[in-house]
Amino acid sequence: MKEKTAKGIAHVLIESLPYIQKFKGKTVVIKYGGNAMIDENLKACFAQDIVLMKLVGINPIVVHGGGPQIGNLLGRLNIDTEFVNGMRVTNSETMDIVEMVLGGQVNKDIVNLINMAGGKAVGLTGKDGDFIRARKIDMQQFNKASGASEIIDIGHVGEVISIDPSVVEMLSQSDFIPVIAPIGVGDDARSYNINADLVAGKVAEVLNAEKLMLLTNIPGILDKQNNLLTGLTLEDIDLLIADGTISGGMIPKTRCGTDALKGGVNSVHIIDGRVQHAVLLELFTDQGVGTLLIN
């Protein structure tokens, strides 16, 4: 029994060797969110994955979300939350909470997890070094009464204008692991909350990352029979969106991945963050644990 176990461990290590050699010195951007940020065991596994990546010569960069944590604090403070097309309406009071949760609580929790696992993580928001420039998003919504679209002001919700990679490059090319909260700053000096998938995609583009990995709460992209689609091209994705196979919240996540591919990222992985050590399994094994998008 011990001999079989030893052979199994040896097989796993040998299987990982070509991947370690291939990705050594390369940058991998990981968007961290969903159950992997809530379940204590999954959080520990994620931190271990990131530390091991760094130890074998890969440069991981973590971009995190924090929607549930923001919602929980707003609820405790009895602050009502309104959503328009899935986007949280964020006035100045709510933005203060968002910045406190994302840039403070959540970011520092992830930094601490990675440090406790033996890494050297550094927390950032896009305001640090002015490295994420943002602009306000005005959402359009169809008004049934008037029969026309109208612009809805959703406050401090933004999109990325530009990213200055110098701060992140300086950290990632040393012994440090950047952990980025998706907050940008506008020309008006205001803070803007930005979708974490979009920030991760733009960071991956600017840094010419080898991979962008998006953690989700599902196995990956599924067909209409709920079978996992393990490998897709840009053309496949367009067809799957057109026929409704990819729908709802998976459309912006998938579009984020395709934009990153078009921007020069070599591959994008949409993986199941509910699986222990999902990041390592996707990086270092032949089978992987999600959907691979390639150009």
pLDDT tens digit sequence for 160-173: 999 999 999 999 88
Whether residue 7 is contained in a domain is answered as no
Q: What is the pLDDT of residues 27-55, one digit of tens each?
A: 999 999 887 888 899 999 999 999 999 99
pLDDT digits (tens, 9 = 90+) for 197-228: 999 999 999 999 999 999 988 888 988 888 89
Identify the residue with better confidence: 170 or 5.
170
**284 part of a folded domain:** yes
Domain at 240, CATH number = 3.40.1160.10
**100 part of a folded domain:** yes
Q: What is the C-alpha separation between 207 and 244, in angstroms, rounded?
A: 33
Give me the domain span that covers residue 243.
22-294
Domain count, the chain: 1
Residue 123 lies in a domain: yes
Residue 214 lies in a domain: yes
* Residue 290 lies inside a defined structural domain of this protein: yes
Is the separation of the CB atoms in 91 and 25 below 8 Å?
Answer: no
pLDDT band at 6 (very low <50, low <70, confident <90, very high): low
Residue 252: what are its φ and ψ, rounded to 5°? -65, -35
- In this predicted structure, the answer to whether residue 276 has a pLDDT above a threshold of 70 is yes
Domain assignment present for 253: yes
Distance CA 11, CA 32 (A): 29
Domain assignment present for 1: no
